[in-house]
Every structure is written in structure tokens, then in C-alpha cells.
Structure 1
């Protein structure tokens, strides 16, 4: 029996320890023989698995065999870094693996092992965060007595390596890697757990920040390295998450006065743009240097000016207190006034008032040049504050010219529909891309339409081309015993389902899906699904059945909005009639709903020549002008969605969309709302294809919005996000009336917790506004009611509306704010919801911009109450603006 036979048996059983013993005992010819066989053995072992993934024991044994028999350092490192041999990180098993690797490589010189270790370290990615390969490198470096690798991946791995803080001083990598933790991105994220939980809450034995400070105190580390490292890390920038641990370390160092003064210019550089947690630290240290009398005037103006331009109000208030307190103490009244003048342009009334008070307080000591600067800056103040400045600094000139007309929202530019797929090669490429990542609905429609057309011409050739491409690029999809087809069903992957059905000759479920659409149940064992989703499921299965049987789908969009060109639709029907074929009923229903609102008379006349049942239905639809717009109702109720007896749901909104289409019962069934049978099982919007819904009825977006209200105007959607921005943008690009349902979704979505989702909603709002279709009053009314009922966070909506105003939608934002205010302003003795003063301030700003006039009674009532609260002041300010 050869040496390879023994090693192969050990590999087959996954016995790493036996493999290590056998490999260590090999002579040079034996090692060469084993190394030659390893690639083929790896391929054979993978082929015997169901999905090509080896068990952990086999991975360890193969790694040991390769490390002990491959002579070249580069080749050995490549073997140890193979993606199909990546071990998992389990401390017990990885410790054994590292011991075996050190044993089988001990025959090599230290330089060889160091070379292998450094080559592996260069391939460790930051995202691995101390994975198994880091432990392999650490073991090889230690056993070889080699220089410590300082690659980004190795440094991050060290930070994540579960080294106890209490033994950190004995860590062999400490001196080499401590300076690097401040230079490598990724370390802060790894150490963020300690920062979030707090060093002492975790226990001193786990806190690296406490340990590093202790080592510096004991002289084991240089204190300056830690302090300068923190400051330099702050200067490089980052997010609160990635910088929090460094802030904690900086605070634990308890800087001395001399250390602060030596670094005060760096602290000042952090003030303009650093995350809040860093800026707070920097401001504290700059003020400390100032209290020591070690802050020169130019640096004072730079630092104070930077703080005053930050968006957080807490910094502005802190800076104004600092400026006021030190103006005379430090004999820098002119510098203080120059800085304070920047606050005159603030949108926050109480900050403006405070800045004016500070300016007036120090006016007597101001120089002539600064007095002129204050008068110039005061031109933007409200009339009463401008008068106060004028009394202290001299008469203020009024603007000679009227303010220019504010720009409107950006012009609406509809998205174009992608060009049809022109070749089988293009279809295959697009299909493989869609398998790897779920595509948007426009891509799905384009792919589905192309699949139907190419399969009708040559079903076997089309399927074989797709099968070959999948075998090469996504082989898991062809595994009949795997989970890929279950994934297609449960996640409703459209094109993949059609392809899989034909590759494996699976029966169609179009009939079951049709029955589900007609009933209230999605199917046996499933809860109720919204009817619009059930329609999409029916259409999906029907389209899968059409592959190879029909030459074209009627409903494939020709416009980016989801519409189908009427002339193209008539042409598709003529093509079906020539072939003696009928479209599927779901395809026909979808095509009808995708027709535009305005139809050319010539198309209507051409449609009269259609002879098939489907052709006559389309001709009748065109002649009657399509679906009439229903009167959609949507009201915010006083209670959140809750469960009634029998698991029935009472929604937080009353929604009604009565749709009549006597000649087209499927259209009426699909579009009407509400439906019966809603239960606790309904509220799973994350599993629905909500992004498809606007394209179901692109000429009747308020109907779609009515169906979307129970999905997107709920706490779950606001907190976690379900693509509201994309859905609303598609509604904005669609046609038809907009009203309370659209406004309700907009109001809720403007308060989404995810800033990226809110940005998408703002983009949609601007598209509505750019087309002149924004239901601004309805959005404002829903916003106010939702705030009063405690369902949304007003401050998020204010930020989103401010962004919309900044982009030019001043008039619509004013209408929205004006409609919301009567709902959110409190009765005497009641407390206003959080964020109302900010909403009032935004209202004042856009009212001034648009020239809005005419009092709002509720605003006037609050303004008349008197007092010093910001609510009253902002109400009075808005009331004056509207009355001027």
C-alpha cells in the first residue's frame, strides 16, 4: 500500500490528527506524490456532496495534507487560502487545526513558514473579522518567531481575536499592532460592542480600552501613541458606530491640560464635520484650552464658527453660551459678534433671539467695522428682531429689490422602458443576472416577455441555452433535491419559476392560483393574502404556462410607468388571432389595466376589427374609455391596527375604493377595496411584491394606493422599510387622480426610520410635485392625524419636508404644513407633540419663500396665548408672516 493510500483514507474519514501524523512521517518522494493527488481528491470529495460543500473535518484534513506536502511557500499559501477549503471559526477545532499545521510545517525553515504566513495575511479581508485564517497566520508567525504582519485584515482580526483584556500585556502582537488599530478601517466596528455596552458593564477583563490605558499607566505602552492615535483616527473620519470605541478610549485616558493645549488645533479641525459624539469631545477640549487662556483669537473664531454651522441645535446653544460668557473675559467682543452674526440666518427662532440678545448685550464695546457687519447680517432677521438690532447698532437698510421668484421642483422626467431583448444570448445573460439577484419589476417584465417570445420560436433550444448557462454559473439552481425551486415558489420569482417548470416538466399551478384569486384563501395551509398579490401570483403561474405555447404576452409594458401602448396591444392581439390562440385571462386583465387614460381614436377604430373574445373585450374597453375613477376614501382612525375576536383585524385606517366594471368582473374584483377576511396573518408586507403593485393599474394610482395603505401605513413598514420610496416613485410616474390614500402613504413614509428610505420618499414627493399631482393637503392632514395618534415621529417628517423644500417644492410643502398644523397644535393646557415647533419654523420659512398669506385660526389662537415657550414664539412668528 502506497503512502497516498494511507493519506487518502485519512482524508476520506476527515481525521485531521491522523492526517497530520501520516504527512509528518512522509519522505520527500511521498510528499510529492501526495501533493500531486490532492487537487483531484478535493474535486472527488466535493462531487460526493449534495451541494459541493465539504464537512469541516474534511476541510481540516485537506488543509493539513496540503500544508505538509506542498514545498513552495507561494503554492502552500494558495492551498491554505482556497475558497472551497475555508474553515469555520470554532475555537476548539481551530486550535487543533493550528497545532497540526505547525507540526506538519515544522520541517521547513522559519523563513519559509514566515513567508507562508505573510502571504496568507495579505489575503485576509477586513470583513472576515478574525476568521479562521487569522488564527492560522498567528500560529505560524508565533512558531516561526517571525515579524508580525500588519495588513488591514490581520490587524482587524487581532482586534476581533477574543484576546482577554487582562492578558493583553502579554500578547506577542501588542507592540506591533497597537499603532495600527488607529490606522485600519474596520477596527472600530469590531470593537463597537464594547463601546455600546460600556467598558465597565462588560467587565474590566473584557475591556480593551481599560486595558490599554492601564498598560500606558504602567509604562508598557506610550501614552502619546494612544492619544495621538485617537485624535488622528477622528481626523480621518468615520461613522458614530466606527468611532465610538475610540471616543471611549480617549475619555478613559483623561487628558491633561498640557496634552489638550498641544492638540487644540486638531480638536478645532474636528468641529465642522465630525460625527456628533466626536464633535462633542472636541468642543469640550477646545473650551478647556480656552478656559486655560491658551486659545488664540483666530483659532477661537474658526472653532466657534464651525460649531455654529453644525445642524445639531445642542451645539449651537452650547456655542452661544460659550461666546457670551467669554466675550469680555477674553477681551474679544468683536470676534464674538462676528461669529454670533452667523446665527441670524438660522431657521430656529429661539436661536435667532438668543443671538440677538448676545449681540445687543455686547454692542457698547463693538468696533465700527463690526457694527456695520452686524447691521448687514441683520437684514435677514424678522422685523421685530431687526428693530432690536437697529436700536443697538444703528439703522438697518431694507432690501432695495424684491426677492426673486423661488425655483419650483425639478421638472419631472419619466423613466424610459428598457429596450426589448433582441437575442437569445442577451436573454441568457440577463436571466443569469436575475437568478443571482432579484431584479426590479421592469426587468422581470422584460425578461418574461422575451422568454415567451424566444420559447415560442424554439422551446428546446431556448431551454437548453438557459440550462447550459445555469450549469456553468448557478449550478445550485439545477439541483432537483435542493431548495432552489422551493425558493422560487415561496419568494415568487417570476422568470426562474417559468424556466424551472419547463426544465423539470412540472405541472402548472395557474388553475389553483386563479381559484385563489377568486376566493379569500391563498391555498391550503396558508393565510389570507391581499387580492392584488394573489392576482400577481395568478399571472405569474399563467405566464409560466404560456412559455412555449403563446408567441407573445399582452401585458408586457412599453412604457417605464408600466403602461402598454394601445396600438402595440392591438397588434399583439392580431398576432394571436393569426395563430388561432387566446391570451390567458390574467394577461388580458393586466393588459386592460395598463392601457393609458387617453386613447387615440384611430386605435379604437382599429380594435373594432378584432374577432376573438379577447379582442372584442379590448375593443369594448377602448370604446367605453376604460375604467371609471372610483371615489376612494381613506381616513385615519383613532386606534392603531388591532385584533378583534376571531383574529379579524380592525385597521388603523378606513379605506374604501368601490369599483364597478360589469363587463370585466376580474378587473372589478382586483381593484375593489376593502376585502373581507383580513386576519392577523395579513400584515406581512415584507413578503409581498409591493414594488409590482403600482404597475398593476398605472392609470389608476389612487386605487393602488388604497390597496397599499394596510401594507405601508403601518408601524412595521415605518420601522423597517419595505421599499416605500421606490413604490411611491412608481405611483408618482403613474397616472390618474391622487387623494387621501396616496397622501396617507406619503405621510407615513416621510417618517420612515431608515434615512435612505426617507430620501427615496422625498424623491417621489418631488416627482409628484414636479408633475403638479402631489395631494399636499391630504398628505398634511394625514400627517397631522397620525402624529396626534402617536403613530409616527414628526421630526423625521420635518427633515424630509425640509429636504423637499430645499429642492424647490416650496409651495407644496407649505400646503402640506398648513394642512397638518390644525391637527397638531394643542388645546390650552395640553402638551404639543414633539417636533411641532420645528414644523412651525419650517412653515414660516416656506410661507416667506412662497409669499403665502391668510391666517390659520389655530396658529393665531396659540400665538395669542403669550409666554416664552418655543411653541408660542414660533406660532407668533408664523402668524406675523401670514398677516404681513
Structure 2
């Protein structure tokens, strides 16, 4: 048995011993050692980590030595960050001695792998064996060292100030390797900003060049977070008026930046320059005009003020150009900016000329409703409506018609078509194991296997070979996605030899359950097991629980027909299938189906009797007492979901508000220990169904479609914690999607979820919520009073951001004039007095939106309690002209007169 020189090296590893070994080898011998070094490195990585500190230290030293070996024996084209992860700086000393022919670009190759190789690359460069890297990682690598615990690189290697320091102003960086990220959590005296300023004061960094480099970084439009560092550093430099004036044109160009903080900085400088010495209109005007539409209204208002100052000192054609530019500010979304623009225009042009009139008229449609009459009066057209706004008639404010009724859940447009052929089943199952995002597709597949699973044409093996291969690969991943693994198991059971479906399924290991999946994954596993048993037994009756309509609804007449189609001698249907069918029953009745039940229930099975009793045929429950009885009882109405009361509280602690909801249910649901898997309503009332991917909550929502209040309650706490998107949970949007169902009458939990959705930060979530609010208000599934009452409950808790809520409510109001009137009514209800002594933060945005909507609809306050509240705020004078009158506060008609559709479909 031959020994290797690496045995002794790894027994007592050190960079010095490694250098001695490599120095004694020729270039050819070092290349021959490369494959063995790679094998030893892989073996070390595969070793189990020891708990012994001595063993851990030995392993780390071996990693350093092997990295050094691989650096000199493996071709540079084969280098990887994992291979050279622990490369020590001593490698640079050895490189200076060995000087292999590939060293010239070794530093470049190293930093291209990872910024952490900065110091090794730097040492190679300083030894004169490698050129200076040009890769950005060489620059950001300086930031890799944690300066909270180690000296700053500028202090340990002052030569970095000659070139590398300036590159930090040219390279943006990413993630944790940027000046902004490094200084965010560092003490002031150890920040990179303080180091730059210290060297500037010491004279080792030129002040003028620092200011120039800072402006250059701001001109590059780095991401807002990283650009913010340079804005703050500019402020710390405290430029003199002379320095600011020297770079005047650059500050004007920065007004066009896409970063709000940069625009704000440049605008402050330009304002200061104008106060010191008048700016030339030809250069200032084009730079300032885009700022009128800045996202932050304070910046836009400052631009209006500066343009007004320019206009006051100019005359003739120059003033006309300034007023024409100011007119573009009327397109800003903030009313305060529009108001400032209008005042500036009135001050600069008492009577608008033809060009200014045209510029204003082009934008008058976007002007806030509360300002339109003011604009038209200034234009001298107070009696002429705009081109896009027809003259109002006496009944314009009345709704164009009665709101549409909520749709029936069994409407033909929502029908789900069962799988009709083997080819369709094969295609659907192949799709579902890759993407199970549509729960109705999963249900179609389950039903398709139940009805068509015994079909075996001659070319069955060939047609299903690709699916079988993919299913075996997925099922072997015990750490894989739970739903995909279970559906892969279904595919393998279906494709197994006759009589071996269940045994094949049992060989597929199921991933462990994760929180949020306890409701439907065990139920799905049970249903798949029953399908496998049915395949082995040769049964092909199909599923009782297969939905007939989107949302999981099952038409009662279809369930009756499925039961009648079963052979009299057939076994009782699986309990999971029966219970799910009962939970999915739609609240509609078919006289022919009920007549069939009356004629057949006495001679049929216990399952048939239970379905008949659930649909109201019979005053007492069947003799067979089972968990399915509790399911049927809930559907029958003896313990209807509507009787459950959900109480919501938001936790507060001093001036801080935690985004936590506490939801209690009355009466209390069945104790968890007494629940059985088939009691889906009971499970929905006690389980928190958050987490995981989007398919899970989508599928869970179809288990008990008449009990979506429980579904919303089970998700509300998680949704509340994610309102401000402190941690993105992409499955949250599914809860908001359920609000879109045209048959759903929004109960208290649905209204809670809608209110949170309108205030959530994530665009996809509040976008879906806006669509849901528009639809629900238009179809009568939600009233303005109900929405307003929910907002009133949440307004003082701090749970929802009122500024964000105002923006989404404005989008709802823009759907139609009737929506605008409904949102105005909802806001009035939300502004009633609460138990809190102080007004919530950003409440003014909600008040301003109400003012605009009242102006738009030519309405006034109709809620006396809201007026009582507003009288005690700073908004009293604004609303005095809109105070409610005796007629406007008359009680609304009784509910029966206002709503002709049932509260719940």
C-alpha cells in the first residue's frame, strides 16, 4: 500500500507545511497532485461534524490547507467558491516564490468568485505577481470585514486611499456589501462615513474630490437605500455656498433623479442657490418642472414655491413659460399640491392667457373635485362643464339602478366539468403533480381516477411511462412539497399493476405535516388511500364529493343522483368522501331530487338516509350516530355557522401597537381532543390555516364553502401580522381572493379580512382587495354601512395604516359615481367617535378623501355622529358648509326595503 505526501500534511496541517511540500514539487508534479487534492477536499466536506472543539479546529485547519493545495494544483478554470472557501493569505507569499504562469489574472479570478477573497487578491497584487482586479467584487470586498470588531482597511493599508477608496463611490454594491448596509448597524465612530471624514480632515483624502465623487454616486441613481448613504454623506460634508455654486449644473441635473431622497437634496441646494443668487430660467425651468409631479407631496410643494419665486422676479415671455410649467403640477395626485399650484397660478396670472388656459383645461379632468369649481372660476368658465363631464341633472346623484343580487353558487357559469377520457385524465394528473394551484383541477383528477382508473388500453404503459417516471422521482423526495408528493403517490397507485394500488401507495413516504396543513392534507391522504382500495376492489362509482361548481360547491340534486346511481349492493361510501360531500352541499333545492329522496330513502343505506336528513327530509337524525352527523347538522342549520360569533381584539402596549389579532369563537368549538378528521367544520374553527404555498389555502377554502367565515377567521391572525410586509408570505393573497366569489355575502370575518387587505402593503394583496370591495359593493354583498363599521372598529387600534387605506378606498371610489357615494358613506361611519382620546395617525388622509368624495358627488355629511366627531377636530371649518341637515340624517329604510336578496347565498 503506497502512502501519499498528503497523509502527513493533513495529519499535522498548516499553511507553512503546505508551502514546504509545494516548493519541493515541479510544476508537472503539482498538476498531478490536483486530482488527489480534489478528492481529499470532497471527503473532508462529506465528513460528519464532530462536537469536539479539538476536532473542529483540526478540520478548519485542514480546510485551509486543502484550499491552498487546490489553488496551486487545480487549473484556475476549475476554481469554485466552495473549493477555495478557506484560502489563507499565506497563499500570496507562496505565489511570489513559485510564480506559476497563470498568476497574472489570479486576483481577478479570485474576486470574481466572491468578494471575500479581497485580501488574498490584494496580497497577490502587492507582491507584484498579479494585476489589480477590475471586478466590482474587488471593491465591495473591502466591506467584507466587520469594522465593528476589526480596524478599518484604510487604517491597516493606507495605500487603499489612492485608488480603491474612490471606487467605493462608483460601485453600488448589493445585499450586505454596500456602504449603506455596513453603516446601518455600526456605531457612529466606526462607520465608513466617519472614516472618510476623518481622513479628509487629516488631509489624506482631498475634500474637493470627495464632494465630486459623492455627486457622481448620486448621479448614478443607485437603489434608494444605497443612494441614501451618499445623500447623508453629502450633508455630513457640509458644502460651502461656494462649493454648491461650483456644482450648480450638477444639482439641477439631480432634480431629474428617480430617487426621491436625491431629488429632495438637490431641491434644497437649488433653493439655497436661488436665495443667494438668481438662477437662470433657461436651465432652472426644465429641471424643476418634473419635480412638480414628485411622489412626495412636500417635494412637489417646494418646487411650486420655487417656481413661483422665479415667476415673481421674471416678466413677459419668461413668466409665461413658468406659468405653463406650473400648470403641469395640476396633474399631481395630491390635493395639497394641486391647491398650491392653483394659488401660484392665480398669483402670477390674474387672467390666464390663451396658452395657459389651454394647458390648464387639458388637466382639469384630473383636478380634485373640491378644486374644480375654483379652477373654472379662475378660467372664467364657472358655468361650463368640462368635456368629459356631462351636465348634472336633478337625479344624477341617484343610483342608476338597484344593485345586482349575489350570484347563486350553482349558477351554470361556475360549473365544473368532470374528466371524460383517459387522455384527459393523464394530461390533468401530469399537470397537477407539477402545479396543484387550482383546487378544482385536483378534484377533477381525484374523481377521474375513481371513475376511469380501471381502463387499461393496449398501449397504456407506453402512454403513461413519462408520468410514471416523473411520479417516482417526486415520491422519492421525502423533503419534497407535500401536495406534489401525495399526488405523485396517487399517480403511482393508479399506474400500478391490478390489485397492487394500495400496496404501492403505502411504499410512498409522506412528508411530515407542517403547521397550517393539518386540515386538508390528512384528509387528502385518506381520500387517496380510499381511491387506491377502490382500484384494487374494481370499484368505479366516482366520488360523492366531487364539486359541481367553482368554490367547492356541490349541487344537492347531483349528490342525490350519484347516490341513486350506486348499486343497491354497493358498500357504504368512504366516510371521508361522504362527510366532504355534506360539507360542500350548496344551499339550493331541487324539487325533483327531493321527491326522489322521499321515494328512495327508506330502502337505501345509512349514507342515503343521512343525506336525506341533511337536506331536511326527516325531523330526527338517523340511528347511525357518526361524526358525519355533526357535519350534516351544521349544514342542516341546527348549529349553523352563522350562529358562531367571532370577537376580534388588537393587542396594544403603550404607544406601540403589535399587529396581532385575538379571535375568539362563541359558542366554543368542539374540543380538539374530541374532533375527528372528518369533522371539517370543527377543524376549520380551531385550526390556523396559514403558511405554506398558495395551493394549500385555496384547496382548504373549498372544503366547507358555506363556512368561509371560519376560513377567514383561521387566516386573520397571520394576515394581521403581515399587513406591513415585515416578512412576505406569498400565500396570503389567497385569503383575499376568496372575497371575490360572486356568491359570497361578506360576514364579520370576511369584512375584517377585506379591511386588512385594503390596508396591506403588498401590491398584489391590496390590488385583489380593491377588486373585491368594488364587486361586493356593486352586487349588494357588502353595504357601505357594514364596511364603515368595520373600519371604525379598526381605526383606533393602529392595526391598519390609514394613509394606505385612503389610497385603496380612493381606487374603490373611482369605479363609479355610486361607488364614490358608498365609500363616502363608509368613511363617515368610520369617523364616528371611539373610546380613544387622540386621533389616530394619518387620520387626515381619510378626512381629505371624504371631502373630495363629497365634492365629487355633490353630497354632504349624512352621518350626525361623524359630524359630532369632526367638530372636535381641526377639520371643523372645512366641513361646516357640508354639515348634515335634518333631512340628510333621516333614518334609512328598514333592511327589508333596502335588500331584496338573502344575506347568505
TM-score where L is the length of structure 2: 0.70
* Selected match of 2:102 from 108, 112, 135: 112
Q: Residues 795 and 642 of structure 1: is their aligned pair in 2 closer, same or farther, counting only changes over 3 Å?
A: closer
The answer to whether the Cα contact below 8 Å between 1:564 and 1:595 also exists between their aligned partners in 2 is: yes
- 2:68 aligned with 1:64: yes
Q: How does 1:343-742 map to 2 (within 5 A)?
A: 351-363=337-349, 370=356, 396=382, 398-399=384-385, 403=389, 431=433, 465=469, 469=473, 477=477, 484=479, 534-543=518-527, 545-546=529-530, 548-551=532-535, 555=545, 561-563=551-553, 584-594=574-584, 627=635, 630=640, 632=642, 640=650, 669-671=679-681, 685-686=690-691, 690-709=697-716, 712=719, 723-733=731-741, 735-742=743-750
- 2:753 aligned with 1:745: yes
The answer to whether the Cα contact below 8 Å between 1:155 and 1:184 also exists between their aligned partners in 2 is: yes
Q: Counterparts of 2:307 and 2:760 in 1: how far apart (Å)?
A: 37
1:307 alignment counterpart: 291
SS state at 1:589 partner:
helix
Q: Counterparts of 1:761 and 1:150 in 2: how far apart (Å)?
A: 49
SS state at 1:98 partner:
coil
- 1:251 Cα offset (Å): 2.1
Q: Counterparts of 2:246 and 2:89 in 1: how far apart (Å)?
A: 48
- 1:702 Cα offset (Å): 3.8
SS state at 1:696 partner:
coil
Structure 1 range deviating more: 337-346 or 722-731? 337-346
The answer to whether the Cα contact below 8 Å between 1:766 and 1:809 also exists between their aligned partners in 2 is: no
The answer to whether the Cα contact below 8 Å between 2:544 and 2:578 also exists between their aligned partners in 1 is: yes
The answer to whether the Cα contact below 8 Å between 1:182 and 1:229 also exists between their aligned partners in 2 is: yes
SS state at 1:640 partner:
strand
2:76 alignment counterpart: 76
- 1:284 Cα offset (Å): 0.8
The answer to whether the Cα contact below 8 Å between 2:553 and 2:585 also exists between their aligned partners in 1 is: yes
Q: Residues 402 and 368 of structure 1: is their aligned pair in 2 closer, same or farther, counting only changes over 3 Å?
A: closer
Q: How does 1:202-217 map to 2 (within 5 A)?
A: 202-203=188-189, 206-215=190-199
Q: Residues 159 and 789 of structure 1: is their aligned pair in 2 closer, same or farther, counting only changes over 3 Å?
A: closer
Equivalenced residue count is: 804
Q: Residues 503 and 153 of structure 1: is their aligned pair in 2 closer, same or farther, counting only changes over 3 Å?
A: farther
* Selected match of 2:796 from 788, 800, 803: 788
* Selected match of 1:842 from 846, 849, 853: 849
Q: Residues 386 and 464 of structure 1: is their aligned pair in 2 closer, same or farther, counting only changes over 3 Å?
A: closer
Q: Residues 779 and 273 of structure 1: is their aligned pair in 2 closer, same or farther, counting only changes over 3 Å?
A: farther
1:170 alignment counterpart: 157
* Selected match of 1:102 from 70, 83, 92: 92
1:647 alignment counterpart: none
SS state at 1:301 partner:
helix
SS state at 1:800 partner:
helix
Q: Residues 674 and 369 of structure 1: is their aligned pair in 2 closer, same or farther, counting only changes over 3 Å?
A: closer
1:184 alignment counterpart: 171
* Selected match of 2:133 from 149, 157, 161: 149
TM-score where L is the length of structure 1: 0.72
The answer to whether the Cα contact below 8 Å between 2:812 and 2:820 also exists between their aligned partners in 1 is: yes
Q: Residues 763 and 239 of structure 1: is their aligned pair in 2 closer, same or farther, counting only changes over 3 Å?
A: farther
Q: Counterparts of 1:28 and 1:42 in 2: how far apart (Å)?
A: 21
Q: Counterparts of 1:492 and 1:465 in 2: how far apart (Å)?
A: 14
Q: How does 1:204-243 map to 2 (within 5 A)?
A: 206-215=190-199, 220-221=204-205, 226-243=210-227
- 1:729 Cα offset (Å): 0.6
* Selected match of 1:832 from 825, 833, 839: 839
SS state at 1:255 partner:
coil
Q: Counterparts of 1:415 and 1:146 in 2: how far apart (Å)?
A: 71
Q: Counterparts of 2:883 and 2:872 in 1: how far apart (Å)?
A: 14
- 1:399 Cα offset (Å): 1.4
Q: Deviations over 1:545-576 (max 9, x none)?
A: 44743447665668664456889989998999
SS state at 1:783 partner:
helix
2:181 alignment counterpart: 193
The answer to whether the Cα contact below 8 Å between 1:825 and 1:836 also exists between their aligned partners in 2 is: no
Q: Counterparts of 1:842 and 1:384 in 2: how far apart (Å)?
A: 10
RMSD of aligned residue pairs (Cα, Å): 5.8
1:481 alignment counterpart: none
Q: Counterparts of 1:691 and 1:268 in 2: how far apart (Å)?
A: 52
* Selected match of 1:285 from 251, 254, 269: 269
The answer to whether the Cα contact below 8 Å between 1:349 and 1:874 also exists between their aligned partners in 2 is: no
Select the structure that is richer in helix: 1
- 1:782 Cα offset (Å): 0.5
1:31 alignment counterpart: 30
The answer to whether the Cα contact below 8 Å between 2:543 and 2:577 also exists between their aligned partners in 1 is: yes
The answer to whether the Cα contact below 8 Å between 1:768 and 1:774 also exists between their aligned partners in 2 is: yes
Q: Counterparts of 1:99 and 1:713 in 2: how far apart (Å)?
A: 50
- 1:642 Cα offset (Å): 9.5
* Selected match of 2:235 from 243, 247, 251: 251
- 1:787 Cα offset (Å): 0.7
- 1:746 Cα offset (Å): 1.0
- 2:872 aligned with 1:873: no
Q: Residues 715 and 381 of structure 1: is their aligned pair in 2 closer, same or farther, counting only changes over 3 Å?
A: closer
- 2:822 aligned with 1:815: yes
Q: Counterparts of 1:654 and 1:232 in 2: how far apart (Å)?
A: 57
Task: Show structure 1 runs of 5+ residues with no match.
Answer: 88-93, 125-129, 479-483, 514-521, 523-528, 644-649
